[in-house]
Amino acid sequence: MVQQTNNFHIREATVDDLKYTDDIVRVVNEAYQTGDGWTSPKHIVSEPRTNATEIKDLIERNGTTHVLYLALDGDEIVGTIMYEQPNDKGEAYCTLLAVAPTYQSRGAGGQLFRYMLEQMKNKGIPTATLTTFASRSDVISWYKKLGFVEESERVDFSFHYKDAKVKPTGDSDLVIMKRPLV
């Protein structure tokens, strides 16, 4: 399914999108490391979020362990979002939300997230879950506007994601947030 939005369309990634690998890497890493927007965690995370090998693997295996969506303006990649297939509790982890800096604060992130949540609901996934840094109250508020509820449990990024390529430079406590879909 393809959703047409203001200036771009959102769809599930396919192997035909391998040609966009470098563009996807650029958009994701720029979203995580540049700009002074409220969504950028550059003051917390100092390393690139992804690389070409990881993105190629995500595209080639899309629909197996995860589902990756792309937002495009014509042939230009302007955003990404992904969920991992549900665990044994029926919770699907949402990740890789990234919007090109020139598209930020224009509703693109919300449209990406709402589109993905609707697709998850249509597939019968009971719960969407995510984590975000506890120090990011503005981001937590944004997720609440999307219907997510903050859990009382906190997770230490350095322990929970000890093998992650991205290492936090500051506060590493993560908030767990969940949203029922059915």
pLDDT of residue 8: 83
From CA 136, how far away is CA 139, in angstroms rounded?
A: 5
Q: Helix 21-33 to helix 52-60 angle, to the nearest 10 degrees?
A: 120
For residue range 19-40, list pLDDT tens digits in order: 999 999 999 988 877 655 545 5
Instruction: Decide if 158 contacts 172 (C-beta within 8 A).
Output: yes
- CATH at 63: 3.40.630.30
C-alpha to C-alpha distance for 84 and 70, rounded to whole angstroms: 15
How many Å apart are CA 25 and CA 22, to the nearest integer?
Answer: 5
Q: How many CA atoms lie within 13 A of 109 on its CB side?
A: 25
Domain count within the chain: 1
Q: Which of 164, 176, 177 is nearest to 46 (CA)?
A: 164
Question: Is residue 112's pLDDT more than 50?
Answer: yes
Q: How far apart are the first and last CA of the chain?
A: 20
Mean pLDDT within 106-114: 91
pLDDT digits 0-9 by tens, 45-68: 557 788 999 999 999 999 999 999
Full residue range of the structural domain in which residue 10 is found: 3-180
pLDDT of residue 67: 97
State the pTM of this model: 0.86
Distances (CA, A) of 55 to 29, 62, 94, 126: 12, 10, 16, 27
8 A C-beta contact, residue 161 and residue 49: no
Mean pLDDT computed over 146-163: 75
